[in-house]
A = this chain, B = another copy of it.
Amino acid sequence: MVYEINANIDDMNSEIYSYIYEQILKMGALDVYTQSIYMKKNRPAVKLSVICEEEKLDEIVEFILKETTTLGIRYSKFSRKTLDRKMVKIKTKYGNISIKFAYYKSKILKYSPEYEECKVIAENFNIPLKVVYEDITCTVNKYLESFNKK
C-alpha cells in the first residue's frame, strides 16, 4: 500500500518547483510529478502529486504545506504492484555501464541504462545521447539472447 498526496497550487513562483521535486525525492518519496490544471476564473494551476509510503506521509504533507502556496492537501491509499529491479554492470563498447533490469515473476521484462552514465559518455565521445542509448540497449539485447540460449 502507498499513499498518493495531491495539492493544487495556483500562485507560486515556478522556479520553486525544481527545489520541491529535489527535496521531496530526498525525503524518500517513490515518485513526484505535476499536471497542468485549470481552476475557476481562468486560473491556470498545477496539481502536484507525490507517491510515498506510510512512514513518509506526515513529513511530506508538512513540507508541502510549508514550502508551497497551497492551502490544503488531500491524500488516499493505493494498492501498488511493481516489478522487481536489479542493477547490473554490463560490458559495452563504452566501458562497463550500469543497467537496471526489471523482473516479473522472475523473468527479465525490461532494462534500461543509467541516464547519468550515458550522459557522460555522450559528452566525452561527442555523440548523440540517443545513439548511446541505442548502442547500449542492443548490447544488452544480445547479452540476454546468448543468456537465454544456454
Contacts and interface: CB of A to CB of B under 8 A. Distances in A.
Q: Which 3 residue pairs are nearest across A and B when measured between Cβ atoms?
A: A36-B36, A72-B82, A138-B138
Interface string A1-41: 01010101011111111110110010000111111111111
Interface in A26-83: 30-47, 49, 51, 61-62, 65-69, 71-83
Interface residues of A, number: 76
A10 B46 CA distance: 12
A74 B51 contact: yes
A47 to B, nearest CB: 7
Nearest to A104: B65
B17 A66 contact: no
B33 A128 contact: no
Given A14-B43, A14-B44, A76 B74 contact: no
Contacts of A112: 11, 69
Contact of A46 (B44, B73, B83): B44
A129 interface: yes
Contacts of A91: none
Nearest to A80: B74
Interface string A97-137: 00000101000011010010001001000001110011101
